[in-house]
Every structure is written in C-alpha cells, then in structure tokens.
Amino acid sequence: MEYRPDVCMEEGCPVCGDKVSGYHYGLLTCESCKGFFKRTVQNNKKYICAEYQECWIDKSQRKRCPFCRFQKCLHVGMRLEAVRADRMRGGRNKFGPMYKRDRALKQQRHLALTEATGGLSCSPPLVSSALHRDLAFTGGLLPGITLPTAQSDCISYQYSLHPNSSTPAPTHYQCTSFSDWAIKLERSNNCGASSEGSVVGVPPLVQEFLRCDPDELQLQRKVSAHLMEHQTGWEDHDNPSTFSLMCHMADQTLISIVEWARSSIFFKQLKVGDQMKLLQSCWSDLLLLDLISRQVLYGREGRLLLVTGQEIELADIASHVGPTLASLIQRGQELVGKLDIIKVDRQEFACIKFLILFNPDVKELDGHQLIESVQEQVEGALLEYTLVTSSHLLGRFAGLLLCVSELRVLSSLAEEYLCYKHLSAEVPCNSLLIEMLYAKCNWD
C-alpha cells in the first residue's frame, strides 16, 4: 500500500485544532501543544482554572487557560509516560507500534472514503476541522447548497451559512457517499422480505409496526430541507452554534416522531389527552432511540450519523465537549456497541418504539387498560419475533429489554443536560425540546 503521510497530517490537533506536526506523546498533535504538554509534565506544573474548568480550547484561546488545556491534552489521550523522566534525547519510545497502527488505520479510512465517494475526496472530509471554529464548534453541520441526490454522490458542506455571504466558503467537506448509504438502507429495508411484501417468519403485528416506521431517506431529506430553509432565520447577526443546530435537528426529528405516533396503529385510537401524556413521558426516550437505532442500522464505527445523513467523528465530538456530555456520549456509544453485537434489526427497533410509547406506568391515563393491553401485545410480538430469529430463546428478548432500561437512564440524563443548557440560555428559543421538557416537569 502506498504510504501517504499527508493523510495523517490533514487532521487538526485534537487539543486546539492547529496544524498537526506529527505524533507527540501518544497522538497526532501540533507543535505548540506538544511543547506545552512537555513543559507541564517535566516541570510538574500545577494550574488553576479561573472559571468553571470547562474553558474552550482552540488555536486562538489555548493560552488563556493552561489548566483546561492540560485537562484537554489528557482527555484526548496524550500520555504522561511518554515524557521521559531522564530527559534522554532522540530515539523512539514504546508507542512506535501504536503510531504505526494508527497511521495504517487512518490510511485505510482515507482509502475507504475515497472509494465510497468515487474518488472525489480531493479535499479531506474532516468535519473535525470545522468543529474547531468556535466555542460551540460551529460550522460544517448544516447541509450546504448541495443536498444529497441520486446524481450527486457527494454531500457538500460550507462554512458559510449564508449563501449570499461575501465571505468565501474556505473548504468543502465530504460526507458518506449517498449511494453507499442508500445501499445500506435498501439492504436493511429488504431484510427478510418476500416478493409479495409480507415477511417470512415475522409476526403480522411486527410487520404492521414496520409499515408505520418512517422512511429514513424521506426523513433525511425533510430535516435537511427544513434546516436549509430556516437557517437564515436563526440568529441573523451571527452563525448559530453547533449545539443550537443540533437542537434544531432534534426538534425536527421530534416532530417526525410525533407524526409517526399520530399515524400509528393503536395510538390513533387513544384520546388526545392520553396521546399527549404518553408522548410527554417518552419523547426523550424515542429521540434517543432514533439516534441510537440510526447508528446500529446505518452507522459506521467511531462516527455519529446524524438524521441529515452527515457523519461526525466521535473522537472529535468527545474532544470538544465538557465531561458531562462526553460521559453521555460514551455511554451512548456503549449501548450502540451492545445493540450492534446482537445485531438488532429494524423489526426489533420498530417494536421497541411501540414498547416505549405505550407505557402503562404513565399516570392518569384514561385508556390505561388499552395501553396496558397494547404493551402486552407488543412484548408478545417482540418475543415471538426474537424466538423466530434467535436460537438463544429468552436471552435475546431479555437483552433487548435491558437495553431499553439503559436507554431510559441515558435519556433521563440527556434531559438533565438539556435543562442545564437551557438554563445557560444555550438552547434556541421556541424549541420543541424545551416545550416537552417543561410539559414533563409540570406534569410530573
């Protein structure tokens, strides 16, 4: 394989986003963070953060808070043990093979991406570089002018959120090839389907749940179109932060979840009051399930696939967020890993959605009996389906229920985080997320 050193150097420093100069103390970093890390460790420096130990570190602000800079160095994986106690110069350390593996991996990823995008990746698809732009890693997350189409194999992004802006978009980023993604979708959609449209071995109720499920590509187009249509209306004076964009994205996903529920079997039979109570009780579970199922069904390892079809390196996100969100992402990743190992399919995810929605534990339900009965039917259908598809008898079913419990814990933590961000005025106004959050609080 031809070795291309530039592939590794294209990425920004994981600490500050500056130009990488090589592997230093365990990973690719820039020269200044290398020097900073060395000075700190060699001289056993102790820093104090003047604020809340969550200072943003980028190229322009890295000098402001050495405490947070050093914390970030450690967080992204710089290794203390790579700083030599004896100060011996030259030579290699024990990380040599690790650097080699990392290089090979990056090279492999680059080639895979080049192939997936039909050799169009002349400029690197590094959303990570865009993440370094501002405190809330703005940019690169709104689909630009080019929406994925069958003709366009490459999804472009621009820095500039305003098409008429005089500032030229400095870089185009590429994302997952649309055709590659579509192939994955098609494969997933057709799993087990017979030519008549019924599915062999799949209980009729599960088939009905699957029929209610929104089409992923339609959802992607809808959310992307909405974000592009409304981007000029947000924070006219400034670019919206990435967190704010994520909120808009989540809002749109939530709207699609409500639409899904309203048009679904059983739910349509409920009184509006009960419908509201059920949705208010589980909106965050469903939102998180939507995100997680997307990773399991269509995502790639180490990346976060957004509802718009864009992908972000998880390592990049983790290195740009505070400890609370980083821990949430970590747990989410672990859950995706668990579901990935047991290869949960669309049928099972469809059942889980109904299982979450029809929660008889919700208080003051008029149609409590009906909801309890639906929950039993869903459980029965899921159990039947897992028994048909898995040889592990009850193990798979029990495993899925355990994952649902973990998902509920995570969504509750995510709600707390959202609440905190809302109190810090970082969530956009008129957010459906906040409306749901408040509805739940008042109702609880």
Partner DNA sequence: GTAGCCTTGATC
Partner DNA sequence: GATCAAGGCTAC
User: Residues interacting with DNA, by CB under 7 A?
Assistant: 5, 18, 22-26, 30-33, 35-36, 38-39, 42-43, 45, 62-63, 66, 69, 82-84, 87-93, 95-96, 99
Task: Tell me how far, at minimum, the Cβ of 82 lies from DNA, in Å.
Answer: 4
Task: Tell me how far, at minimum, the Cβ of 77 lies from DNA, in Å.
Answer: 12
Q: Which helix (H) or strand (E) holds 39?
A: helix 31-42
Task: Tell me how far, at minimum, the Cβ of 128 lies from DNA, in Å.
Answer: 19
N-terminal to C-terminal alpha carbon distance within the chain = 60
- Look up residue 378 and give its two tokens: 């869903």
Task: Tell me how far, at minimum, the Cβ of 170 lies from DNA, in Å.
Answer: 19
Instruction: Give 313's strand partners.
Output: 303
Instruction: Give 311's strand partners.
Output: 305
Burial class (CB in 10 A: 0-12, 13-18, 19+), 272: exposed
Indicate the residue among 99 and 298 with the shorter CB distance to DNA.
99
Indicate the residue among 14 and 148 with the shorter CB distance to DNA.
14
Indicate the residue among 91 and 197 with the shorter CB distance to DNA.
91
Task: Tell me how far, at minimum, the Cβ of 51 lies from DNA, in Å.
Answer: 16
Task: Tell me how far, at minimum, the Cβ of 27 lies from DNA, in Å.
Answer: 9
Burial class (CB in 10 A: 0-12, 13-18, 19+), 250: buried
- The three-state DSSP-derived secondary structure of 154-223 is CCCECCCCCCCCCCCCCCCECCCCHHHHHHHHHHHHCCCECCCCCECCCCHHHHHHHHHCCCHHHHHHHH
Indicate the residue among 23 and 173 with the shorter CB distance to DNA.
23
Rounded to an integer, what is the distance from CA 219 to the centroid of its chain?
16
Indicate the residue among 43 and 391 with the shorter CB distance to DNA.
43
Indicate the residue among 62 and 303 with the shorter CB distance to DNA.
62
